[in-house]
């Protein structure tokens, strides 16, 4: 996958340096470089990009203000000499924040983050509308360690959220770790088979064999159940109980 990118910076030397970095990076294609945000706005509108390397302190319009005006799907890496904007940059949903002088290693790390984000977006969980109803609830693919791994829903015992990653625990197989938000996976999984029982856990209801009060037992692992999910779990168990 190649990413179309642009550089916006009012310092010519900074633009030249970043341009040289882009040229060294095989998956980046430079389609625009701008010395002020107003000309950049017009250029990007006619020639959209995937990734922006964006300075923060610029005349007429700051990088933080500019970031609010671009397409939400455009990923932004802020490039600045001032560390005090870091918090604001992440509030602006920046992918990364690079402090000048920027080394190529730091630049490449940020570019790889962007590449991974777009690869995950492209090869994300198969959308129900893109596949037949018979297939839609049987499996999906996730990226793990630069590979696409097929996950059969019937093999999942539970899913654990680990900050920006998820850990998919499988019945009789090695767990799969993937860079993904819990919400993205939760939205795909069939509601009648999977339940988010805790902020950090989704369980396969068919795999529940033992429950102790407010936790589900999977072998040696104990999954906490939030108060608002206790009743749902109990109702599910009661439907399948002979008491």
Q: Is the confidence at residue 84, as pLDDT, over 70?
A: no
Q: Helix or strand or coil: residue 118?
A: helix
Q: Which residues pair with 139 in a beta bridge?
A: 152
Are the beta carbons of 71 and 46 closer than 8 angstroms?
no
Could you give the percent of the chain with pLDDT greater than 90? 31
- 19 or 67, greater pLDDT: 19
- 131 or 10, greater pLDDT: 10
10 Å CB burial of residue 239 (0-12, 13-18, 19+) is exposed
- The pLDDT, as a whole number, for residue 134 is 40
> What angle separates helix 104-122 from helix 12-24, to the nearest 10 degrees?
60
Average pLDDT over residues 40-49: 90
Average pLDDT over residues 157-184: 88
- The pLDDT, as a whole number, for residue 131 is 47
Among candidate residues 6, 201, 210, 25, the one with its CA nearest the CA of residue 108: 25
> 40-54, 124-138, 158-172, 192-206: which range is least confident on average?
124-138
Query: What span, in angstroms and rounded, lies between the C-alpha atoms of 233 and 220?
Result: 20
Distance (Å) of CA 204 to CA 12, 21, 143, 224 = 55, 46, 21, 14
Q: Is the confidence at residue 54, as pLDDT, over 60?
A: yes
Confidence band, pLDDT 50/70/90 cuts, at residue 189 = confident
């Amino acid at each position: 996958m190649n990413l179309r990118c642009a550089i916006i910076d009012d310092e010519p030397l900074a633009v030249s340096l970043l341009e040289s970095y882009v040229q060294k990076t095989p998956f980046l294609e430079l389609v625009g470089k701008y010395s002020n945000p107003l000309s950049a706005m017009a250029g990007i509108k006619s020639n959209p990009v995937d990734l922006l390397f964006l300075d923060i302190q610029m005349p007429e319009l700051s990088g933080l203000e500019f970031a609010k005006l671009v397409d939400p799907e455009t990923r932004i890496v802020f490039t600045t000499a001032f560390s005090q904007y870091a918090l604001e940059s992440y509030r602006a949903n920046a992918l990364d924040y690079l402090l000048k002088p920027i080394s190529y290693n730091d630049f490449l790390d940020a570019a790889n983050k962007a590449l991974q984000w777009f690869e995950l977006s492209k090869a994300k969980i198969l959308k129900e509308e893109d596949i037949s109803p018979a297939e839609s609830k049987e499996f999906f693919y996730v990226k793990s360690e630069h590979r696409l791994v097929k996950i059969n829903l019937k093999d999942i015992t539970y899913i654990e959220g680990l900050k920006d990653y998820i850990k998919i625990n499988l019945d009789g197989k090695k767990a799969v770790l993937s860079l993904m938000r819990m919400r993205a996976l939760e939205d795909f999984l069939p509601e009648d088979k999977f339940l988010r029982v805790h902020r950090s856990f989704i369980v396969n209801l068919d795999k529940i064999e033992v429950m102790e009060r407010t936790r589900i037992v999977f072998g040696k692992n104990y999954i906490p159940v939030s108060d608002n999910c206790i009743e749902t779990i109990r109702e599910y168990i009661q439907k399948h109980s002979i008491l």
